[in-house]
């Protein structure tokens, strides 16, 4: 493809999934995290903690198995995962195991050299296997967590002869998340989280669309995300529990993405979120939140989101099974090309004792 046409195709980013605020995993934010606008790092527990703040896994004693599904409507991207966590065996140690798969079909349009309008469907896949471990250094006060993981991402398309080609080179890597949470008398939690400190996936701004010919300046990539699949990030979270009840909290988070827009003069993307949760009679959590996402350099692509969610929970009796059902919704309300995300989970709480 001539240099001019390659430049015309420049700016198409890797079709990453829907995680915007937490960057927990490609295609899957987690039901509670999505419903609270991503402001959950200091208060997450159970399988939600596996995704956004593994240090918190051991703050509650439970054994969980949690299938989760999420969709982003505009770019036709779906994420599904199965997460399992056990913090019953040892009061100081919690372990988990999770698999997450992402499948996306975003489309781009362009005009070729013959002046014909063309539409090209892209096939995005992402896979992640994680083994989070939490250690309560001081019971009820200080916890540390690590999440080693294997991750894979690819972006492909079919050429005019129906042969599958790589828009970017498929990438596989071993990643690592780390986190720390301090709890002050169960009134306040403070968390610090680093994600993808190893194995970050860089954004791709000039994918190879050979053998398609793109007329200069005609590429429309509005439905393809510019975010890295696995960005290197550092985040902080603050949670306030007015009644010392984990079901009632106010949360404030900040996240710094050093990968997604590094090509824009080493720009650091910033996301700031706030959310709250109130649980009715210990069974029905109501969640809401919102966040601001700076995206790339300049203000024209900054975005604002609102979110809400609800659930139904029942603790497992001794020797029995409980439930954790949840729904989350997020909608972009400011900025270009609005995004809509939905997520569902049906978790089982098991108490073998």
**Local confidence band at 131 (pLDDT 50, 70, 90 cut-offs):** very high
pLDDT of residue 6: 35
User: Cβ distance 101 to 117 under 8 Å?
Assistant: no
Residues contacting 301, CB < 8 A, separation 6+ = 295, 335, 336
User: Half-sphere exposure of residue 101, counting CA atoms within 13 Å on the CB side?
Assistant: 4
**Over 70: is that where the pLDDT of 162 sits?**
yes
Please give the CATH superfamily to which domain 3-350 belongs.
Answer: Outer membrane protein transport protein (OMPP1/FadL/TodX) (2.40.160.60)
Mean pLDDT of 88-96: 93
pLDDT of residue 110: 84
**Local confidence band at 122 (pLDDT 50, 70, 90 cut-offs):** confident
Token match 């997604």: residue?
A: 260
pLDDT of residue 1: 36
Domain boundary assignment for the chain: 3-350
Rg (CA), the chain: 21
Task: Output the CA torsion sign for 293, 295, 298, 299.
Answer: negative
pLDDT in tens, 53-72: 999 998 888 899 999 999 99
pLDDT in tens, 225-245: 788 889 999 999 999 999 999
User: Rounded mean pLDDT of the chain?
Assistant: 87
φ and ψ of 320, to 5 deg: -130, -165
Residue 166: how many other CB atoms lie within 10 Å: 12
User: Cβ distance 57 to 91 under 8 Å?
Assistant: no
User: Cβ distance 255 to 235 under 8 Å?
Assistant: yes
**Local confidence band at 220 (pLDDT 50, 70, 90 cut-offs):** confident
pLDDT of residue 75: 83
Q: What is the pTM of this model?
A: 0.88
**Local confidence band at 132 (pLDDT 50, 70, 90 cut-offs):** very high
* Terminal Cα distance for the chain, rounded: 65
**Local confidence band at 15 (pLDDT 50, 70, 90 cut-offs):** very low
pLDDT of residue 206: 61
């Amino acid at each position: 493809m001539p240099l001019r046409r390659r430049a015309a195709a420049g700016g198409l980013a890797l079709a990453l999934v829907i995680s915007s605020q937490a960057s927990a995993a490609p295609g899957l934010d987690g039901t509670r995290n999505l419903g609270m606008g991503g402001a959950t790092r200091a208060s997450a527990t159970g399988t939600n903690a596996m995704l956004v703040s593994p240090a918190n896994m051991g703050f509650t004693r439970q054994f969980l198995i949690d299938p989760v599904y999420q969709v982003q409507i505009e770019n036709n991207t779906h994420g599904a995962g199965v997460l399992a966590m056990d913090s019953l065996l040892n009061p100081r140690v919690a372990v988990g195991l999770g698999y997450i798969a992402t499948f996306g079909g975003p489309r781009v349009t362009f005009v070729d050299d013959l002046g014909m309008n063309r539409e090209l469907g892209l096939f995005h896949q992402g896979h992640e296997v994680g083994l989070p471990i939490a250690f309560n250094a001081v019971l009820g006060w200080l916890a540390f967590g690590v999440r080693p993981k294997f991750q894979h991402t690819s972006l492909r398309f079919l050429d005019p002869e129906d042969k599958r080609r790589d828009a970017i080179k498929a990438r596989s890597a071993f990643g690592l998340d780390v986190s720390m949470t301090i709890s002050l008398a169960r009134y306040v939690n403070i968390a610090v989280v680093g994600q993808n400190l190893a194995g970050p996936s860089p954004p791709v701004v000039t994918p190879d669309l050979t053998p398609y010919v793109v007329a200069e300046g005609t590429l429309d990539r509005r439905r393809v995300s510019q975010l890295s699949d696995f960005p290197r990030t550092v985040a902080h979270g603050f949670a306030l529990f007015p009644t010392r009840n984990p079901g009632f909290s106010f949360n404030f988070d900040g996240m710094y993405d050093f990968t997604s827009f590094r090509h824009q003069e080493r720009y650091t993307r910033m996301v700031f979120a706030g959310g709250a949760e109130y649980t009715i009679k210990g069974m029905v959590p109501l969640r809401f939140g919102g966040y601001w996402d700076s995206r790339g350099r300049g203000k024209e692509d900054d975005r604002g989101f609102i979110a809400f969610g609800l659930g139904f929970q029942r603790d497992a009796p001794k020797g029995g099974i409980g439930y954790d059902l949840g729904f989350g919704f997020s909608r972009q309300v400011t900025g270009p090309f609005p995004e809509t995300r939905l997520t569902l989970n049906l978790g089982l709480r098991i108490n073998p004792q």
